[in-house]
Structure 1
Amino acid sequence: MTDINAVASEVSKLKQRLDQAQLSYRDASLKSRREIVILKRLITRLSVAYRGLDSELDTKLTELRTELDQPKDISKLIPRLAVIERLVTRQAGFTEKENQRLEQQIHQSGETLKRVHGLPAQLKRELRNILSATSDSLAHNHQRILRLLELYERSLKLISTSNDNLVLKDTLDHDLQLQLTNELQHLITELDFDGESGDKLLTIRNRLLIGVPPQTLIELSLEVLRLVLNGTHQERRSSQKFLDSVNSDLATLQKTTNQNVGQTSALYAHHGELTTELATVVNTVKQGLQDQKNLENWRPTLTELTKELQVLVDRNRALEKREKMLIEQLSYNENKVTTLFEQTQDYRQRLNDQERKMFLDHLTKVYNRAALNDRLEHEYRRWLRYQHPLCVSLIDIDDFKDINDSYGHIAGDKALKIIARTIHQCLEETDFIARFDGDEFVVIMPDVSEEERNKRLNKVRESISQLPFRFRDQNVTISISIGATLFEGNDTPTDIIERTEKALYSAKSAGRNRMFWIL
């Protein structure tokens, strides 16, 4: 009886523990569901907050929301959360950098507005308040930008209604001058004329790099137009002269060839007649030798046949002389055709050289932006077909503006040449390098393994950091930053360029002499 009571007591205790376990499980389950709801709400709000800032982050957040809707173990989502955490951290660094740039731009724009004459005192006070305010967030800087834009709008209205608008006009003129200067430099670089026109254009480009007054800029613009027209006319006249010479030689060859054809036909007919007559004489001699028993009586006839043979021999010699003249004429025509072929080959080579120059950057002697667009499109189409690894990297010289400001544009040009040559030497024949813009270069490496492309790009980075630059008796170390990526999925060349720019920005944000991949 005692044992039964003990068992009943134990069963009762176990029942109580089971009830408590069920309650605990239900509470944990409810808590877990609440946490999932809170997590989903947080993910949704993060998606809204970060929407449009980073496409990769948008995609990852969308995928995470979809996973949360599925009845899966939430612990399996930890790797995805780690990836999102990394993307959010990267975006935070990018946002902080953008906030710093925005802060600098606010101060620069504010200082520019402060220098405008004729602004009311109230507007100046508001401007000082904006510039003196400290910013602790990107949202606050956005508010300052909006207030600054309002002041700009009020300033423009005031200036437009007053007589003192010359300063604004000068500012606009200055912007147009800078734009015109850059366009002229780009035009001179792309044309690359030879001879006197080319030398004068290079001299003008060097003057534009240093900077010229507005009046001189107008004069140089007119001079560039004149030199471009002269160079174009000169090339057209040279081409026309060459074509006229070729047409004249071809017309002469056609005439002499027709004459040779006629002479050849006549010689062929004469040879036929001569052969027929000779055969007739030979047959007569054979017949006479058979029929005549006394050759002495046949002598007069044989003498006449001999005279006929002599006439045939003379005619044959005349034909041989004409054939010799014909052969000499054909030999002359052959030499003329060979000469024309060599001339056209030389001209074709000149055209190929000119076409190659059109796709070469005049300063660095690597390919230019036009060649880059063609090659990138070509490699993109090959990638679509074969799906081999296709790497594109963007290389930027660190603090290149400081070199131009400290040592002059000539030193900057020298550095660009040396760096472009060094990059080219570190690559293989199948790789492609082009000057992208200013101090930026693009490198395309098709069908290269991950280990090899990292090796080549690191070799480029390390080789440039070891270059012994010396400007104005000072040793200068120059480094580069590299942003790289691969074609994947539905990528287009435009997507790749944008991604390399983002990767380059991340590399430069991390410090000098860095390489950053976005895959």
Structure 2
Amino acid sequence: MASSQAITRLLQQLLKRSYRQNQAIDKYQFKFLKKLQSASTAEDEIQLFDEYSQQLENTPYTIEEKLSEGKLVARQSQVQLRQIESLSEAVKNKIGEMQNAPEPYTIAEHHSSLSALIKIYQHAVIELNKSCSPSEVDTKADISFINDELQLLILELDVGQDFVKKLEKVRIDISNDPDPFQLPQYCLQIINIIIDSTREERRTSRHFLYTLNDSLTQFYLNFAQTLKLSEEDFEKQKETNKLIQEGADKLQENSQHQTLEELQSSISDYVSNVKAAMALQEEQQEEKFRTKFQSMVRQIKELQNETQSYQKTLKQQNKQLHIDFLTKIPNRAAWSERLKTEVTRYKRYKTPLNLAVIDIDNFKSINDRFGHLAGDKVLNVIAQTLQKSIRNADYIARYGGEEFALLLPEISPTQTELALNKLRDRIKSIPFQFKQEHLSITISVGFSAFTPSDESDDAFERADTALYQAKRQGKDQVLQLTKNEKKVER
């Protein structure tokens, strides 16, 4: 008993430290602890532990993925901040300290690191506001920046298929409307669409659960009724057997006073009556069970069809969540999952794995000169060209904005460079035309090969740095950065 109390106290402390990681688990663990404290036998405790283990197995664990993604975003933010030339040395030094600091391990350390980064952003905003007077603010540039960010946000939103066209209409309206006072109205429209999509998804899920519950309830009632009928038939069988036994006793009693002919006649009548009674009972039972069985089979099939339909809907929704709305290729969420899989395979089988980051050169000037719809067309055409030009084993995704990420497994860095240069030449040869003007659009590419000690973000950071070098050295080129090469300060 003492050991059970000690285990309970230990569990309370452990569960307290895992609090606020999953709302469903948090609600469940209170019930679990309450049941555990009131458990009277070791078997009850084991059953509770098994139930809790099953609950944990059915709950996705996404903390590692989120922390890794947050760490990568934080690093990119630090690099982007250091590119702002007008920032003071004090702010730049703080950014440098963050970049040189040990990587956070615990969730608290991650939170502290992000808080420090937010404070640096606050200082940067204050300095930038002080460094420019109202007369120097380029209102047009501000509006263009907000429009760009808002449109990118729309493209990254995951909503139901019925609401995609509504979002696309809002996005087109934003790109064609220079009035800054309309931006809040557009934001409100986007929020309403997101809310409506969420409500529709929730309504669909609730409807399925209600239907499933009704089907299961009806199935249970029919099964209970079948059991009841079986009991009734059993009682009738007992009555029939009793009548048969009484007939046999009477036949035995009368046989002592009957002649042989009378006894034969009595036995014949008795056998005929028994056969008739058994045939009638068997026919009634068969008809009842046939009817009930057919009903139960029909309900099981209906339940199975409903479940399969809902599973199909869930698969379609999951697929939509991993496809970029504009380019129709995998998005950043899908990239994170595939990257994790490929890194695991690389570490297990030791086969080569290369990671490339691709960026469209001078993309902002295309939006500025020809409009955002032209920019969307460029993104779409380049994404589809890249998708069709890679091997089946390769994997490409839209990482954000005009940037793409590409995995190239099972080839050497030399082969990777050749393949990436072919992609670059193919993109360069696409004949774009906007407003009677012919354009040749280029891409810059940075890549790096994984090493055994690498984590996924290490290789990505090297590839991103190589991309920056390619941009700085004139664009329209492919550059590699190995683990031992010195990183260029941005």
Q: 1:423 to 1:277 in 2, by over 3 A?
A: farther
Find out whether 1:203 has 2:180 as its counterpart: no
Whether the 8 Å CA contact 2:448–2:480 is kept in 1: the answer is yes
> 1: distance between equivalents of 2:468 and 2:371?
26
Give 2:443's aligned residue. Answer: 480
Residue aligned with 1:417, SS: helix
Q: 1:301 to 1:476 in 2, by over 3 A?
A: same
Give 2:62's aligned residue. Answer: none
Where in structure 2 are the equivalents of 1:400-419 lying within 5 Å?
A: 400-419=363-382
Deviation (angstroms), 1:167: 4.3
Residue aligned with 2:446, SS: strand
> 2: distance between equivalents of 1:451 and 1:155?
47
> 1: distance between equivalents of 2:389 and 2:276?
82
Whether the 8 Å CA contact 2:445–2:470 is kept in 1: the answer is yes
> 1: distance between equivalents of 2:355 and 2:331?
16
- Summarize deviations over 1:315-336 as a string: whole Å, max 9, x none: 33323332xxx22322222222
Residue aligned with 2:327, SS: coil
Find out whether 1:463 has 2:446 as its counterpart: no
Give 2:47's aligned residue. Answer: none
Whether the 8 Å CA contact 1:389–1:448 is kept in 2: the answer is yes
Whether the 8 Å CA contact 1:483–1:517 is kept in 2: the answer is yes
> 2: distance between equivalents of 1:435 and 1:284?
92
Q: 1:376 to 1:204 in 2, by over 3 A?
A: same
- Radius of gyration: which is bigger? 1
Give 2:309's aligned residue. Answer: 346
Whether the 8 Å CA contact 1:467–1:477 is kept in 2: the answer is yes
Residue aligned with 2:328, SS: coil
Find out whether 1:241 has 2:207 as its counterpart: yes
Percent identity of equivalent pairs: 29
Q: 1:341 to 1:436 in 2, by over 3 A?
A: same
- Summarize deviations over 1:441-468 as a string: whole Å, max 9, x none: 1101223334543443233223222323
- Summarize deviations over 1:240-276 as a string: whole Å, max 9, x none: 1221111111111111111112323443564576578
> 2: distance between equivalents of 1:346 and 1:384?
38
> Partner letter of residue 397 of structure 1?
I
Give 1:74's aligned residue. Answer: none
> 2: distance between equivalents of 1:460 and 1:344?
44
Aligned partner of 2:282 among 301, 316, 323 = 316
Residue aligned with 2:444, SS: strand
Where in structure 2 are the equivalents of 1:101-140 lying within 5 Å?
A: none
Aligned partner of 1:373 among 323, 332, 336 = 336
Q: 1:319 to 1:294 in 2, by over 3 A?
A: same
| RMSD, matched Cα | 3.9
Aligned partner of 1:306 among 265, 272, 276 = 272
Deviation (angstroms), 1:300: 4.8
Deviation (angstroms), 1:166: 5.7
Whether the 8 Å CA contact 1:485–1:496 is kept in 2: the answer is yes
Where in structure 2 are the equivalents of 1:35-434 lying within 5 Å?
A: 156=130, 167=135, 171=137, 180-194=146-160, 197-267=163-233, 270-271=236-237, 274=240, 294-295=260-261, 298-300=264-266, 302-303=268-269, 305-322=271-288, 326-434=289-397
Deviation (angstroms), 1:438: 1.6
Unaligned stretches of 5+ residues in structure 1? 1-100, 107-151, 160-164
Whether the 8 Å CA contact 2:240–2:277 is kept in 1: the answer is no
Unaligned stretches of 5+ residues in structure 2? 1-81, 87-125, 483-490
Deviation (angstroms), 1:391: 0.2
Q: 1:372 to 1:296 in 2, by over 3 A?
A: closer
Number of residues of Structure 1 aligned to a counterpart in Structure 2:
362
Q: 1:339 to 1:320 in 2, by over 3 A?
A: closer
Residue aligned with 1:238, SS: helix
Deviation (angstroms), 1:421: 1.2
Q: 1:335 to 1:461 in 2, by over 3 A?
A: farther
> 1: distance between equivalents of 2:440 and 2:473?
19
Residue aligned with 1:405, SS: helix
Higher RCO (C-alpha 8 Å, min separation 6): 2
Whether the 8 Å CA contact 1:278–1:309 is kept in 2: the answer is no
Whether the 8 Å CA contact 1:483–1:501 is kept in 2: the answer is yes
Deviation (angstroms), 1:433: 0.8
> Partner letter of residue 333 of structure 1?
M
Q: 1:388 to 1:235 in 2, by over 3 A?
A: same
Decide which moves more: 362-371 or 183-192. Answer: 183-192
Decide which moves more: 486-495 or 217-226. Answer: 486-495
Decide which moves more: 277-286 or 238-247. Answer: 277-286
> 2: distance between equivalents of 1:364 and 1:408?
17
Residue aligned with 1:366, SS: coil
Whether the 8 Å CA contact 1:466–1:477 is kept in 2: the answer is yes
Residue aligned with 2:384, SS: helix
